[in-house]
Structure 1
Amino acid sequence: MEVSQTVETEELMTCLQIQLYHPQQASRALYRMLPLETRHKLQAEDPVRLGRDAQACTFVLADPRVSRKQLSLQAYRTSNSPDMLFSVQNLSQKGRVTVNGFELGFLERAELPGKALIRFGEYEMLIRRENGEAKGSFEVEFGMLAVPPSREMGMVVPNMVPVMDTGSDLSTNGIPPLMSQGPMEMDETIMYQSGRALLP
């Protein structure tokens, strides 16, 4: 079998596998506007926005409790790594976003490791990065998880209480409850400062 010498070799693209969990996802209505189980090619220079506003966001969650623009993923490169890397930015002024348990304020960014747990409202989003060689584009693939990824990863993270568009949450007086994953070690302490739970 003869192979054409003029056909360009197809570069393997980096893929962000984004798996979502929400306690009320059984009907799949929350994800009806997301392209589940399908890879989508995106340009590396364009930010990937997730939220409920179909005009402003690349991917949409059909949930009125999600901010119009919730978060953004941005590809970037460094001189000392051949891989395409990604950062996440909190675009919500009213809702909290955590990355592996660390809270991001409005417009704050964090680098995403190869595997990251992002939480906002009642959503948990597990992102895994599959590295590729392509420099100008990457792929995104959405899926659903049957159980919360925080349980699988054994993470004890603050329970994220959804913040409605009014920005008020009267149920907990602004102090997030903690999810218990078993007994804490004796030397661990929890301090509250300005209504935020700080873990050492």
Structure 2
Amino acid sequence: MTTVSQTMETEEDFLTCLHIKLYHPKQASQGFYTLLPLGEKCKHSAEDPLRLGRDAQVCTYALADPRVSRKHLALFAYRTPQSPDILFTIQNLTQRGRLSVNGSVLNYLERMDLPDKALIRFGEYEMLIIRESGEAKGSFEVEFEVLAVPPSRETCMYVPNTTPVMDTGSHVMNDVPAELRSQTPLETDETLICY
């Protein structure tokens, strides 16, 4: 009788991994993430939805925050005939608030396919989900991390406390005659006359 080598690679050695990076502006003073397995990779069956919310009895992962719904969102794994990769959709499970994915709003029970890198916002939370491909078909891993700064700053999707910059058609205002500089406001479609 032959035995299978313990070092032989199997499809389960190369699991797809969802890296979920969380940020909340009050996370330093609150214990929002005490129920999450931070820094650990947790294996999940691709058949079961991954739910995130306040209720640890119903959800796969829970946030210790009374402003989060009992069941807030769900991630569903799926595959297509055209690709061997495990892909994911996200669904908004809360009636109390909206969820946005890369700026697109999802209302209650609406779903959307997740790109390989997605910025999810709900309440004051920002969650960056990055999908790392694997070869396994029946399961995937999830790894949670807490970020010190909002992920929207890293992804250039949001710049806090700024005002829009007016396009004047000139890179350097010092070269513009004073009489033209003093005319305010300039509309974005106006151009400056260069002498």
Equivalent-residue separation in structure 1 for 2:162 and 2:148 (angstroms) = 19
TM-score (norm 2): 0.78
Q: What do the CA deviations read for 1:10-35 (whole angstroms, capped 9, x no partner)?
A: 32000000000000111461100000
Equivalent-residue separation in structure 1 for 2:10 and 2:21 (angstroms) = 26
Equivalent-residue separation in structure 2 for 1:180 and 1:102 (angstroms) = 22
Q: How far did 1:56 drift?
A: 1.0
Aligned pair 1:30/2:11, yes or no?
no
Q: What do the CA deviations read for 1:139-172 (whole angstroms, capped 9, x no partner)?
A: 0000011100111111149xxxxxxxxxxxxxxx
TM-score (norm 1): 0.77
Equivalent-residue separation in structure 1 for 2:42 and 2:4 (angstroms) = 29
Label 1:9 to 1:99 Cα distance change in 2 as closer, same or farther (>3 A). Answer: same
The aligned residue for residue 164 of structure 2 is 183
Q: How far did 1:5 drift?
A: 4.6
The aligned residue for residue 91 of structure 2 is 89
**Secondary structure of the residue that 1:147 maps to in structure 2?**
coil
The aligned residue for residue 9 of structure 1 is 9
Letter in 2 for 1:183: P
**Secondary structure of the residue that 1:77 maps to in structure 2?**
strand
Q: Please, which of 76, 81, 87 is the counterpart of residue 74 of structure 1?
A: 76
Label 1:28 to 1:130 Cα distance change in 2 as closer, same or farther (>3 A). Answer: farther
Larger Rg: 2
Q: How far did 1:182 drift?
A: 4.1
Equivalent-residue separation in structure 2 for 1:182 and 1:128 (angstroms) = 30
Listed as ranges, the gaps of 5+ residues in structure 2 are: 168-187, 190-195
The aligned residue for residue 136 of structure 1 is 138
Q: What do the CA deviations read for 1:29-53 (whole angstroms, capped 9, x no partner)?
A: 1100000000000000100000001
Asked if 2 retains the 8 angstrom alpha-carbon contact of 1:156 and 1:181, the reply is no
Equivalent-residue separation in structure 1 for 2:38 and 2:30 (angstroms) = 10
**Secondary structure of the residue that 1:152 maps to in structure 2?**
helix
Letter in 2 for 1:66: V
**Secondary structure of the residue that 2:84 maps to in structure 1?**
coil
The aligned residue for residue 43 of structure 1 is 45
Letter in 1 for 2:154: E
Label 1:13 to 1:25 Cα distance change in 2 as closer, same or farther (>3 A). Answer: same
Q: Please, which of 62, 65, 79 is the counterpart of residue 63 of structure 1?
A: 65
The aligned residue for residue 154 of structure 1 is 156
Give the number of the structure whose residues are more often helix, by fraction: 2
Listed as ranges, the gaps of 5+ residues in structure 1 are: 158-178, 188-200
RMSD: 1.8
Asked if 2 retains the 8 angstrom alpha-carbon contact of 1:36 and 1:141, the reply is yes
**Secondary structure of the residue that 1:98 maps to in structure 2?**
strand
Q: What do the CA deviations read for 1:102-153 (whole angstroms, capped 9, x no partner)?
A: 1001000000000000000000000000100000000000001110011111
Q: Identity over the aligned pairs, expressed in percent? A: 63
Aligned pair 1:106/2:108, yes or no?
yes
